[in-house]
Amino acid sequence: MQNISVLSPLFYFGMFIVILHWRCAFKLLRRPNLSLFFVFLAAEYIFVKYHFGRYLLGLYSLAVLIVSIGLKDLIKKYNIYKIVFVMIYGILFIYYFTNTLLVLPYGFGWADNNRYLTRILFRDNASYYDFDHLFSKWISSNDKVATYGISGYYYADFDYIDIYYIFGKNNKSFDLLMEKNVTKLLIKGGDIFWFCESLSLQNCSSNKVKLLVSYPEGIGKYNLYSISESTRLP
């Protein structure tokens, strides 16, 4: 459901009028070539697990196809829908054209790229970025950073390991971080207390780490900790 926001307003407009005129839309979808597409798509999902990831593309394609066919024919039949379609299309064009103009200075190097990427990627739910150059001050080439809540590492220039490659179902001791030679811990979404509770870790406490930096300050959506030297295994 979180991916609904990426669909165009034109999709929702088309879906609305297709539902409103479902009898007409159903007749359009009974064309032989479209029926064949539906058969192949149904056969694919019999054998492929489609619960998440790229396998959802088929369902999105199906939805867009249905809406597009209904939208194409119904705006020809009803002039009011054509007017609304053109208005929405015009608003979208102005919006994206304006945003493109605002981004151009960063693309040509005329503005501070870090400021732009900090603003954009902070809204991302998964990516790592060196916001305002805060993390690079504390992470060296000798560090191994365990991460939690992060899946995009395009801008990461350090040795990282996802936390799920460390803890198993039967072994959730915080000491495993030291066994894997982890020196830093980067958490997205909360602090060390939240981290320990979310993963139900054993031997996990604030005494074993030291907070180095948070971003943004005061909120701490991203928290970088160092593993205390006193807790390291000999």
Write the pLDDT tens digit of every residue in 143-166: 999 999 888 888 888 999 999 899
The confidence score (pLDDT) of residue 224 equals 94
Q: Which residues of the chain have pLDDT under 50?
A: 1-5, 233-234
Beta bridge partners of 159: 144
Beta bridge partners of 147: 162, 186
Sign of CA dihedral 112, 115, 118, 120: negative
The confidence score (pLDDT) of residue 233 equals 46
Structure tokens of 8? 């165009």
- d(CA 15, CA 9) in angstroms, rounded, equals 10
The confidence score (pLDDT) of residue 193 equals 92
The confidence score (pLDDT) of residue 14 equals 78
Q: Can you give the pTM of this predicted structure? A: 0.60
The confidence score (pLDDT) of residue 229 equals 63
Q: What angle, 0 to 180 degrees and rounded to 10, lies between the N-to-C axes of helices 79-107 and 113-121?
A: 140
- d(CA 230, CA 91) in angstroms, rounded, equals 60
Which of 68, 52, 57, 60 has its CA nearest to residue 7?
A: 60
Structure tokens of 172? 């959730």
Domains in the chain: boundaries:
2-107, 131-231
Structure tokens of 202? 């054993």
The confidence score (pLDDT) of residue 2 equals 43
28: part of which helix (H) or strand (E)?
Answer: helix 22-28
